[in-house]
Structure formats: C-alpha cells, structure tokens
Structure 1
Amino acid sequence: MNGKGRGTALVIGGGIGGLAAAIGLHRTGWEVTVLERSDALHDAGAGISLAANGIRALDVLGVGGAVRAAARRQYTGGTRTPGGRWLSRMDGIALERALGIPMTGIPRAELHRLLRAALPPAALRTGVTGSLDTALAAADVVVAADGIRSTVRTRLFPGHPGPVYSGSTVLRAITAGPLPLDTDFELTWGPGAEFGHIAFTDGRAEWHAVLAAPAGIRHPDPLAALSRRFGGWHERVGRLLAATRPEDVLHHDVHELATPLPSFAAGRVALLGDAAHAMTPNLGQGACQALEDAVTLAAELAAGPDVETSLARYDAVRRPRAQSVARAARQAGRLGHGLSHPAAVYLRNLALRTAPSAATIRAILRHADWTPPALPARAV
C-alpha cells in the first residue's frame, strides 16, 4: 500500500457486501479480485428494500443512479392485522421529505447484476473458494464477506460461538408474473407469524412469510402449508401465494450473530456484512449495513497511512453502529411475529394504532439517516 492508497485487495464472497466493497476499493485505486464460491446466484428468488442509508452508500459507489432506475419507490403501505385492518400507515412522502431519498424495492438478483456491472469483468472469479492463508499471501488487504457461516471469522475468532438460530424461519418467493397490488410495501402481523410483500417496477412482487418455529422444519409442499397457515388472513396474502410457482419458494431458517464480535478487523483482514454482524431481517437493514461497511472500509483504506491502522479505524467506526442496529432488529422481531399471547398482541396493536405518524418516521430515521464518507477519486 502506497501513499495514494493503491495495493492489492482480495474480497472473499461475492454477495452484496463483497461486491460493494470491491467497487469502493476499485474506485479508490486498489487492484481488486473477488472470489465467489458459487457458480450462480443462489438467492435470485428474493427481493430487497433499501432505505436511504443503503442508497446513499450506493451513490458514493457510483451505482445509485442505476439502482434508482431499476427500483420501485415505496410510498404506500404499512402494517396490518390478519383481518386487514391497518395498524400503521407508511407515509413515504414524509419519509422522502425527511431523508431526501425514498425507500425502494428491487429484486436481489437485479441489485447483484448492477453491482457486478460496476466492476471490471476480470475482477470477479466464480466457483472459487478462498482460504485465509492463500488470500493473505496474495493480497495487501483481505475482505472477508463470506456470509453468516464465515470461515474467515471462525479462523480469526475461534472462541466465538458463531451464528445461532433466531427462533424464526422464513419462506419467500417472487410471483411468477404481475398482479394488482394497491400498496408498494406491506407487513401483516399475527400471533407468531408475519407476512409481507415488496412490489417491483414490472408489477411482480416478492412476498415473505416469517414463522416462529423450531429450526429444520421443511414442507413437501410449501405453498400448500402456507395456504393452510394463512388461510384466515386478508385476501392479499392468498392472492400473492396463488401467483407463485411452487418451485420458486425459498425456505431458510434465520440465524444471527447474537454474541457480538470483539472486532471487525484483525491485522490485514476486515470482516464485512453478515460475516461481521449477521442480523435478523426485521428492520430490513442487513444489506444496508453491509453497504455502509463497504463505503466506510474503502474510505478508511484510502486515508492510510497503512492497512492495519485503516482497518482499526474501520472497526471503531462500524462496529458500534452495526451491532446497535442488530440489537434493534432482534427487538423488532420480538415485538412483531415474536408475540403470540393475545394480551401482548392486543397491547402491541393498540400502541401502533395510536402512535402518531411522526413517531414512526423518527423510528425509521434512527437507522436510515446515515451520512457516508466521501471516496477519493482513483489515482492515475
């Protein structure tokens, strides 16, 4: 690494966080290689909501405009009861006014495509598994973006307990075609369950069903099981399920790093995204926090004076915020589908119905209102 921030960087993991980190490093003068063990995207059947902090990070990386063009702005929606009654309404206009950027929804595969397009084709190597020793021998800095089951994290922190089951399992899919929906984004909370959707620009939608359940349960016919589970819920739920091909349904148990890591860096290695702070999806902040990681990492490495010092600053900046968001996400899940007792559900619903819209906006701003660091231009 020289005074201009140039050097060789190896990113292990080609997900959203890894690709974003590679873009940030490439834009600031690093020679970057991304190693992705999969030959193809394994999460193409999902969608994602991006809050203002995620979009701001993408703007700094130079891909915000392309993502905006492909995403649907989320102005309408909110949270319902299983019977369809509104508990709270989303005021997307007020949120955009407060942040300057609206919430957006985009297929995860499309976001991956746009991030890959921002890198030189030769920078991404698929079907490759990178070991830490090999990576350290080949690069000045190693970015471990290898997900919740990170082998690099295990190597760096062998005493850490690793990911644990959150108590929730999630089934999700993107509808086979367009369907009429009168909201951009919705959640429905019932006892021990949540059902939500994200609408896309082409009229399709992603839906997800979160269930409080033991780990490892799988269904021979997931759509039939969901139709039974949500049979008494409002008609939008059934409409989304009916618009889905059975083979498109994904089912994953939700794990998290419930025990915070003592550091996001060790020597010349930085942990990023789920490898550093895997969280439950209840705030929709997992990808946004990975994007924050990526921009912060690139900025700190560009500032120098050496890799170890830069990564120590990255840890000091990112770890408190990311771990705070992870705690908030866990708490949001406990107050959402995590509630099953009728009295607790009633009190939660009453609180939501009576809360002023300004309070809802303040809750979103607490996590979404983030100012990214600037990245210096690539040295020539």
Structure 2
Amino acid sequence: MAAPSNPPRAVVIGGGIGGLTAAVALHRRGWRVTVLERARSLAPVGAAISLAPNSLRALDVIGLGDEIRALAAWQGDGGLRTPKGRWLSRSSAAAAAERFGGPLVLLHRATLVDALTARLPEDRIRTSAPATLADPGDADRPARVTTPDGEWEADLVVAADGIHSAVRRALFPQHPGLAYAGFTTWRVVIPVPGVEFASHETWGRGRIWGTHPLKDGRVYAYAAAVTPAGQRAPDDEKAELLRLFGDWHDPIPAVLAAACPEDVLRHDVHHIAEPLPAHHRGRVALLGDAAHAMPPTLGQGGNQAIEDAIVLAHHAPDLAAYTAARLPRTTAIARQAVKVARLNMMSNRAGMAVRDAVIAALSKAAPALLLRGFDGIADWRPPGQPYASEQTPAGQQ
C-alpha cells in the first residue's frame, strides 16, 4: 500500500525500549516519527532485560521477534533457592514454553535498543534533545512539544519519558505520583570465567538474589534488599553486596569476586501505587514506566512497555481505545507485582518458613501450579496480527 502524501506526524519523547518500539511500530503503519532523547546517545544505562512470550509476540508484529530470540539466551531450567542453596522449586523451560506458547529469553538492553534503532531511518532519532510538552492538543489542534532547538507540532505525542515522567505530571497534576516500594536493587553484567550454574533466584530475609547466563558468556546478576529510601553504602556498592550476600550459596560469591565496584548499579524502587485515570490526554499517550511504573518482581516492566507500544500503534490516533485496552491490564499486573514483592521481600521469620514450605510442597506435588501466576500475562497476544512465534515449536532454540 502506498504511503499517504501527508502522513500523520508523531513525536516520541524518550528513546528507551518502549519509546523506540512505539516509533518503529508507528513508522511501519505510515506515521512520520521523530524520537527526541535528552541523553547524548541511546546507549542504555542498565543491565539485562527478560522478555516473556507476551512481549516477544508484540515484537513479532514489527518483524523483530525472531531476531531477538536468536540474539538472546533462552532461559533454561532453574528454580528458586534458599540462601544456603536448598532448592525450594525447580522450573522447566520446556513446560513454561508449552504453557505460554514460547520461551522466556534474556539479553542485554543495548542489544534490543540496537535492533530497534536499526529499523528506523537515521534522521528520525535526535539525541541531546530534551523535550517539554507545551500543549497536549485536542481534536481541533495539534499537540506541541518544545526543545532547545525549536518547537514541534504533532498529531500524536508518545510520552515514554520514564518513571519520573515530566509529561505525566503535566497531564495529571493532581495525581499523587510515585511511591517508594520499600526496597532497593543492584544489578551487574560481567564475565565470570570458569563458573557453571543453573539459573536461579534466591529468597532470604528481606533480600533476594538472581543469577542468569547471557548468550555472550557474561552473567547477569541482580539483588534487592529492604531498606529505607535514599540510602547508599558508606564505602561502595560492591562492599555492600558482600556484606548482604557474601555468605550465600554458589555461584553468588564467585559473581561478587568477579565484580568491580564500578560494575554495580544501584537504584531504589518506586512505583505508581495509585493508577492514573487514563493513559492519555488530548493527543498525548503515556507509555511504559511513565504510565504504570511497577516493581520488578514479575519482570514485566519492559515487557508491558513493549505491549503498550504495539497496542498504541494499532489504535492510533484513537487514544481512548488505547487507554481502554491498556489501563485495566497494566493496573492488574502492577498490583500483582506489588503482591509478589511483599512475598519475596518478606522479613518475618515465621512467615518466611510458611512461605518456603508451601512453595516446596507445591513444587513437588504440582509443579504446573507455580506457573499459574503468569496466566493472563505471558500468554497475551497483540491485536489483529499474525504471530511469528506460533510457527516456532515450543522449546525450539
């Protein structure tokens, strides 16, 4: 189909994964898209991202799903452990792929960003371009965005400006905003030569640790601990991790030994506890963390941003339909992430003993029950598109 002579214009504020996915999806649907990113480059500060079958199917819509499956590490068998190393439950990659129609994969965020940017014309991305929403527009006038270099008018503005979104505050000034989730996180991506291990997450008293291999041979590890907001280690964050996790089971000590202090990223976790009244106003659509920041305990933050982007492009310019499709789903998932955080960050010893006993019993009696927590999440399918992943047998790598 020939492109229209005067295609509608979209401006995307934010060049993260959600914003870039939206830009690619809108570009493929005939929109003229410009991405405005305040940083000097799109190189993400961060670590790895876990993509579940729901977001991989969303990426199939823009022709990227199979490329990402090939670039990523398919998360294999693993499970949940105690700090001393006892397995509470075992997870089966094949069982998960069969239940949800595809694999769970892990890759560095930079790999996904590079794949997304490769699908946009070079002149559509502008870095060092901080953007401010000047007017959300309405049915009779375009939205307006200002930058130090001038003003942009757009039929659609996609606000993918992150958890501290200025656009969200401008659209909904009465909303209470972010709440502290009660814990902080650390992340590292490093080589750990000579260490073999099964993927795992380990739950301790008000603390968790996870270790997973990447396809390029590096290790992605993350940790979290209950702590007051704003605290930092008196020396460095590697030393803090050694104090908190240095006596936990292998391979955690080896990962910590291989890490340098500058490898460790630390961020307090905030979320939107009270859902927004809508994910749009005027000609502006909020996307990803700007719309529904959630704790990372389900690994769905980035996945939901990708879903948002595909659904937005499907419905645009009908933003009421976008809100109707996304607000109930993301609200439910965010609430579930909060519930899981209360469970895995538990500090009460008696409660922990009951929790661990129940998980171990369920794992032995009916392993599939532990997968039910992702029913309705990982099996989501994007609207009105064929799904390339359906042509890939479950479990095939």
TM-score scaled by length of structure 1: 0.93
After superposition, residues 329-340 of structure 1 pair within 5 angstroms as: 329-337=337-345, 339-340=346-347
CA drift at 1:275: 0.3
CA drift at 1:187: 0.6
CA deviation map 1:193-237 (0-9, x unaligned): 000022101221111110100011112221122112113211211
Q: What is the distance in 2 between the residues matched to 1:326 and 1:312?
A: 21
User: Which shifted more, 233-242 or 312-321?
Assistant: 233-242
**Residue 202 of structure 2: aligned partner:** 188
Secondary structure of residue in 2 paired with 1:334: helix
**Residue 141 of structure 2: aligned partner:** none
Partner of residue 348 from structure 2, selected from 332, 335, 341: 341
CA deviation map 1:146-185 (0-9, x unaligned): 00111111000000111121111011111145453332x3
Instruction: Determine if the alignment matches structure 1 residue 75 to structure 2 residue 76.
Output: yes
**Residue 31 of structure 1: aligned partner:** 32
CA drift at 1:13: 0.5
Change in Cα spacing, 1:365 to 1:37, as seen in structure 2 (3 Å) is same
Whether the 8 Å CA contact 1:174–1:205 is kept in 2: the answer is: yes
CA drift at 1:42: 6.4
Q: What is the distance in 2 between the residues matched to 1:113 and 1:242?
A: 30
Q: What is the distance in 1 between the residues matched to 2:213 and 2:174?
A: 42
User: Which shifted more, 236-245 or 269-278?
Assistant: 236-245
After superposition, residues 267-286 of structure 1 pair within 5 angstroms as: 267-286=282-301
**Residue 120 of structure 2: aligned partner:** 119
Partner of residue 217 from structure 1, selected from 205, 211, 231: 231
Whether the 8 Å CA contact 2:190–2:218 is kept in 1: the answer is: yes
Q: What is the distance in 2 between the residues matched to 1:4 and 1:349?
A: 62
Change in Cα spacing, 1:150 to 1:5, as seen in structure 2 (3 Å) is farther
Q: What is the distance in 2 between the residues matched to 1:150 and 1:179?
A: 42
CA drift at 1:35: 0.5
Secondary structure of residue in 1 paired with 2:377: helix
Whether the 8 Å CA contact 1:11–1:33 is kept in 2: the answer is: yes
Structure 2: which amino acid aligns with 1:367? I
**Residue 304 of structure 1: aligned partner:** none
Q: What is the distance in 2 between the residues matched to 1:171 and 1:284?
A: 15
CA deviation map 1:239-262 (0-9, x unaligned): 111121221111111110011100
**Residue 199 of structure 1: aligned partner:** 213
Whether the 8 Å CA contact 1:63–1:118 is kept in 2: the answer is: no
Partner of residue 327 from structure 1, selected from 335, 359, 362: 335
Q: Unpaired runs of 5+ in structure 2?
A: 135-143, 147-151, 387-397
Whether the 8 Å CA contact 1:79–1:88 is kept in 2: the answer is: yes
**Residue 362 of structure 1: aligned partner:** 372
Whether the 8 Å CA contact 1:197–1:208 is kept in 2: the answer is: yes
Secondary structure of residue in 2 paired with 1:62: coil
User: Which shifted more, 281-290 or 102-111?
Assistant: 102-111
Task: Specify which structure has the higher proportion of helix.
Answer: 1
Whether the 8 Å CA contact 1:170–1:253 is kept in 2: the answer is: yes
Partner of residue 371 from structure 1, selected from 378, 381, 389: 381
Structure 2: which amino acid aligns with 1:359? L
After superposition, residues 1-380 of structure 1 pair within 5 angstroms as: 6-41=7-42, 43-133=44-134, 134-135=144-145, 138-183=153-198, 185-219=199-233, 220-301=235-316, 307=317, 310-337=318-345, 339-355=346-362, 356-374=366-384
Whether the 8 Å CA contact 1:178–1:202 is kept in 2: the answer is: no
Q: What is the distance in 1 between the residues matched to 2:112 and 2:192?
A: 19
TM-score scaled by length of structure 2: 0.89
Secondary structure of residue in 2 paired with 1:348: helix
User: Which shifted more, 156-165 or 272-281?
Assistant: 156-165
Whether the 8 Å CA contact 1:178–1:205 is kept in 2: the answer is: no
Structure 1: which amino acid aligns with 2:111? E
CA drift at 1:56: 0.6
Q: State percent identity of aligned pairs.
A: 48
Secondary structure of residue in 1 paired with 2:303: helix
Whether the 8 Å CA contact 2:195–2:251 is kept in 1: the answer is: no
Q: What is the distance in 1 between the residues matched to 2:351 and 2:176?
A: 32
Structure 2: which amino acid aligns with 1:32? V
Q: What is the distance in 2 between the residues matched to 1:92 and 1:112?
A: 25
Q: What is the distance in 2 between the residues matched to 1:155 and 1:44?
A: 26
CA deviation map 1:287-321 (0-9, x unaligned): 110011000000001xxxxx3xx100000000000
Q: What is the distance in 2 between the residues matched to 1:181 and 1:42?
A: 29
CA drift at 1:365: 2.7
Structure 2: which amino acid aligns with 1:211? A
| RMSD after superposition | 1.8
Whether the 8 Å CA contact 1:12–1:35 is kept in 2: the answer is: yes
CA drift at 1:366: 3.0
Q: What is the distance in 2 between the residues matched to 1:5 and 1:180?
A: 57
Change in Cα spacing, 1:141 to 1:179, as seen in structure 2 (3 Å) is farther
Q: What is the distance in 1 between the residues matched to 2:5 and 2:325?
A: 22
Structure 1: which amino acid aligns with 2:334? A
CA drift at 1:44: 3.8
Q: Unpaired runs of 5+ in structure 1?
A: 302-306
User: Which shifted more, 92-101 or 15-24?
Assistant: 92-101
CA drift at 1:6: 3.6
Whether the 8 Å CA contact 2:157–2:283 is kept in 1: the answer is: yes
Size of the aligned set, in residue pairs, is 366
Q: What is the distance in 2 between the residues matched to 1:284 and 1:131?
A: 30
Structure 2: which amino acid aligns with 1:243? A
